Amino acid sequence: MSEYIYTITKKESLADSIFLMDIKAPRVARNCYPGQFVIVKMDEKGERIPLTICDYDRENETVTIVFQAIGTSTKRMAEFNEGEAFRDFTGPLGHRSELIDMPSEELEKRKILFVAGGVGAAPVYPQVKWMKDHGYDVDCIIGARNKELIILEDRIKQCVSNLYITTDDGSYGMKGNVNDCIKELVNNQGKEYDLVIAIGPMIMMKFVCILTKELGIKTIVSMNPIMVDGTGMCGACRLTVGNEIKFACVDGPEFDGHLVNFDEAMKRAQMYRSEEGKKQLKAMEGHTHHHSGCECHEEK
């Protein structure tokens, strides 16, 4: 029996190397909202892994996470099974979705399209679920390379008015990417949206924002892909939004996509992967490399 208390109550394989886990974490479950994230640490020597909250059950005191086993730490996390536990499950961290704080009379007028790329379906799900639970209709696009990588389709479908699927290879749904679907909906089917919320790989969000800017549709993106430490102290998730320096984990993770400098963020993320790159970034950015004054509290 593990000495750690954050027990895995459910484990499910959603696709190749993509896993869902329900974690017993009472305080996080009581206080979290869509858009926020947690930091998972498997044991004393484990890395801090930031993961967006996919779902939560306040009554059963569980929080759902979804992750892709692509690096050493996440591959090791995938080896954990039901009944085992993590050392730390810190959260909720980050700001909740701005939709939650929007006046109901404004939300009722909004025509919202969610765009999920790959594992981005996981952070999209709690938002569309919250919208349905509060009586608001939204549309959603899920895109992936092929049918096997489409996740959470059934759950999301229950929460939206219209769900559109795209695959690069045409093995399921519309052949093409999410931008092709947006163009089809807006330009050919006459759909009208005044807000797009796009979550997925950086390159996907970049090109969605280029398109929606042309179409005149406000767009929110989640910059969780560049988070590493989750406190703003490592400097990994530093980015430029408009003319301001922000940190995804402390100031976000959601930002106005039309103001995000994606090219800079992607270049920094690439550089940050090596020790030499980290040193170069620290030297170039000086005192702005880290966030100051961040306070993160672990669940007790």
**pLDDT of 291:** 63
Same-domain status, 76 and 188: no
Same-domain status, 236 and 143: no
Q: Cβ(27)–Cβ(5) under 8 Å?
A: no
Closest residue by Cα to residue 138 from 196, 189, 95, 97: 196
298 found inside a domain: no
**pLDDT of 232:** 58
CATH code of the domain containing 134: 3.40.50.80
Range of the domain at 68: 6-93
Q: Cβ(217)–Cβ(208) under 8 Å?
A: no
* Count of positions (residues) in the chain: 300
Same-domain status, 146 and 261: no
CB contact set of 137 (below 8 Å; sequence gap of 6+): 131, 160, 161
Same-domain status, 45 and 12: yes
Same-domain status, 198 and 239: no
Match 């997925």 to its residue by tokens.
Answer: 200
Hey, what amino acid is at 266? M
Q: Which of 71, 93, 115 is the last residue of a domain?
A: 93
Closest residue by Cα to residue 119 from 67, 185, 197: 67
Closest residue by Cα to residue 206 from 247, 168, 258, 162: 258
Hey, what amino acid is at 11? K
Question: For residue 92, is the peptide bond before it cis, meaning its omega torsion is within 30 degrees of 0?
Answer: yes
CATH code of the domain containing 24: 2.40.30.10
Q: Is the full-model pTM beyond 0.95?
A: no
SS3 label, residue 117: strand
- Torsion angles phi and psi, residue 223, rounded to 5: -95, 30
CA distance 117 to 234: 26
SS3 label, residue 27: helix
Give how many domains the chain has, as a whole number: 3
Closest residue by Cα to residue 249 from 264, 269, 227, 233: 227
For the chain, the distance separating the N- and C-terminal CA atoms, rounded to the nearest angstrom, is 20
Burial of 72 from C-beta contacts in 10 A (0-12 / 13-18 / 19+): exposed
Q: Which of 93, 111, 135 is the last residue of a domain?
A: 93
Q: Tens-of-pLDDT digits for all 300 residues of the chain?
A: 457 899 999 999 999 999 999 999 999 999 999 999 999 999 988 888 999 999 999 999 999 999 999 989 999 999 999 999 999 999 999 999 999 999 999 999 999 999 999 999 999 999 999 999 999 999 999 999 999 999 999 999 999 999 999 999 999 999 999 999 999 999 999 999 999 999 999 999 999 999 999 999 999 999 988 776 655 566 678 888 998 988 888 888 999 999 999 998 888 777 656 677 666 666 665 666 666 644 433 333
174 found inside a domain: yes
